[in-house]
Structure 1
Amino acid sequence: MALVEVCKQRLHFLRDDDFGDLLDDVQKFCEEHDIVIPNMEDLHFVPGKSRRKAQRLTNFHYYCVDLYFQVLDTQLNEWNDRFDKVNTELLLCMACLSLLNNFASFDKVKIVCLAQLYPQDFDRMNIINLQIQLDNYIHDMKMHSEFSSLRGIGNLAKELVKTGRCASYMLVYKLLTLVLVLPVATASVERAFSAMKIVKTPLRSKMGDQWLSDSMLVYIEIDVFAFIDNEPIMRRFHDMKPRRQQL
């Protein structure tokens, strides 16, 4: 997330202060390769379009505002849409549960903030108890070397179950499971939207919701359905309703 913030700041810097340097580099390139350099103060006209109806814009305005700024603004908007304030805070709080470098990223305040993002799973009393559990949890984790040598939050959750500490730190374990489920749930939603364009084609525009849901399930979980034989499916479909002949 720190690198994301650096990228966003660099894009802002390029937008505000770097166009002059870029223009100088382009002019030097054109001079070295005998390319005609347009006068930045002349009016810009699009080839093939009427000059009477064209806006009176200079070449400098066209290349700077309509091209350079537009590209950088598009990139900034994509960064801000992907990493808005809520997503950034969520990812930073999730990183505090990392066990790398002997739990160097542990931050009790941010972990409590992460739990507050799940009000249905952590009520007011759970938040208070979580703060107490976190103090005992981090002290316990740093005392035992088998936890600091693990890789990834998934292995940490498994080790908590294996050692029975998931019962002692029940709220911490619940938070770990929520963090593990979140990327999978997000990826599943994105895969579903991608599959929708493939399953519901223009020829299937009248497809009902249930049929669409069933078709998308089979398409998304194709690895699971690849091991299911067709014979049990045909037999189940036949038993759903009496038919004149066996399929």
Structure 2
Amino acid sequence: MLKVLAMSNELSMILQKKDQDIVNAVEFLNITKNRLQDMRENGWESLLDDVSSFCDVHDILIPKLDESYFPGKSKCKSSGVSYAHHLCVEVFFVVIDVQLQELNDRFDVVSSDLLLGMGSLNPVYSFSNFDKGKIMTLAKCYPSEFDDGKIRDLSYQLDTFIIHMRSGNPKFSSLQGIRDLAKALVEANLAETYSLVYLLVKLTLILPVATATVERAFSSMKHIKNEVRNSIGNQYLNDCLVCYIERDVFINVSNDVIIDRFQNMKTRRGQL
């Protein structure tokens, strides 16, 4: 289990970052899945050697792998398989299969296409990750927004768009993310000129809301809305969650500023 978790550690870390690098995240996803699959096919013998060495060093009794495996405490009814089969097939394979299934469920083909398309729109380093094919695939994930005619128009629009973005205009040469790209298109009065690209950019800005940010918010709710505060109102809960989730921002707000704002809301009997 330690090796399985270690293989997915880098992927977990990059997915939990607030400023996610989508392209790298997808690459780490594929690397993790390939490593797990390789471990399933070729890693049993080496793992068995490591476990045997550990048990020898710590004087832990090792059952004979060719003997019959008896589930539970009863020694009367054999399972019909050996210890080697039980440990390899019913434990080792199952643990890896569960991990692979979880990754496949969370990141299916559609999710991967969405993530890769988002990464291809990232303007960092003069759109170094730009890939027209992946962006077109992303657009096809929104059939209600992009019909066949708009898909065709988007293809032509992207050809002009990428040349324009890489032309050396200082407004677009130092953008740090898709959010900056959307803002720059509006400020340069290009949102209507590249209307389909701008629409796709807006859609990609909505999508990340359902990733790690939401998971962190639900995790924070366990700290805020516990058994003691189970009857807390929705508005008060929202206010508390904002302060807790964005505590890196609120830590810079002094108590005096909070007191003054509270005092100026309306006339009170006493001064704070």
TM-score band by shorter chain is: 0.7 to 0.9
Distance 1:191 1:125 in 2: 39
Structure 1 runs not aligned, ≥5 long: 202-219, 221-247
Normalised TM-score (structure 1): 0.73
Q: Which residue of 1 aligns with 2:137?
A: 113
Please state how far the C-alpha of 1:196 moved relative to its aligned partner. 10
Per-residue CA deviation, residues 8-30 of structure 1 (Å, 9 max, x unaligned), is: 11111111111111111222222
Q: 1:168 aligns with which of 172, 182, 193?
A: 193
Q: CA separation of 1:185/1:14 partners in 2, compared to 1, >3 Å: closer, same or farther?
A: closer
Q: Distance in 2 between matches of 1:191 and 1:57?
A: 44
Q: Corresponding residue for 2:125? A: 101
Matching residue of 1:33: 58
Distance 1:90 1:31, change over 3 A: same
Change (3 A) 1:195 1:123: farther
After superposition, the C-alpha distances for 1:172-200 in whole angstroms (9 at most, x for unaligned) are 111100000111155687689879999xx
1:159 aligns with 2:184: yes
Once the 2 structures are TM-superposed, how far is the Cα of residue 94 of structure 1 from its aligned partner? 1.4
Structure 2: segments with no counterpart, 5+ residues = 1-25, 227-244, 246-272
1:138 is displaced (CA, Å) by 0.7
Identify the residue that residue 75 of structure 1 maps to in structure 2: 99
Cα offset, 1:171, TM superposition: 0.9
Q: Give the match's secondary structure for 1:38.
A: coil
SS of 1:56's equivalent? Answer: coil
Aligned to 2:209, the other structure's residue is in SS state: helix
Stretch deviating more after TM superposition (82-91 or 174-183): 82-91
Alignment correspondent of 2:150: 126
- CA RMSD in angstroms comes to 3.9
Identity %: 44
Structure 1 counterpart of 2:114, from 80, 90, 97: 90
Q: Distance in 2 between matches of 1:23 and 1:186?
A: 37
Verify the 8 A CA contact 2:71 2:79 in the aligned structure 1: no
1:1-247 to structure 2, matched below 5 A, reads 1-46=26-71, 49-154=73-178, 155-185=180-210
Report the Cα offset of residue 44 of structure 1.
2.2
Query: Is the CA contact (8 Å cut-off) linking 1:94 and 1:114 kept in structure 2?
Result: yes
Q: What amino acid maps onto 1:176 in structure 2? A: V
* CA distance in structure 2 between the partners assigned to 1:115 and 1:91 by the alignment: 12
Provide the C-alpha distance between the structure 2 equivalents of 1:168 and 1:116, rounded to a whole number of angstroms. Answer: 21
CA distance in structure 2 between the aligned counterparts of 1:188 and 1:31, rounded to whole angstroms: 45
Secondary structure of 2:192 counterpart: helix
Between Structure 1 and Structure 2, whose CA radius of gyration is higher? 1
> Quick check: 1:93–1:110 contact (8 Å CA) kept in 2?
yes
Q: Please give the alpha-carbon distance, in whole angstroms, between the structure 2 residues aligned to 1:52 and 1:94.
A: 59
Distance 1:101 1:33 in 2: 53
Q: What is the total number of aligned residue pairs between the two structures?
A: 241
| Aligned counterparts of 1:143 and 1:171: Cα–Cα separation in 2 | 20
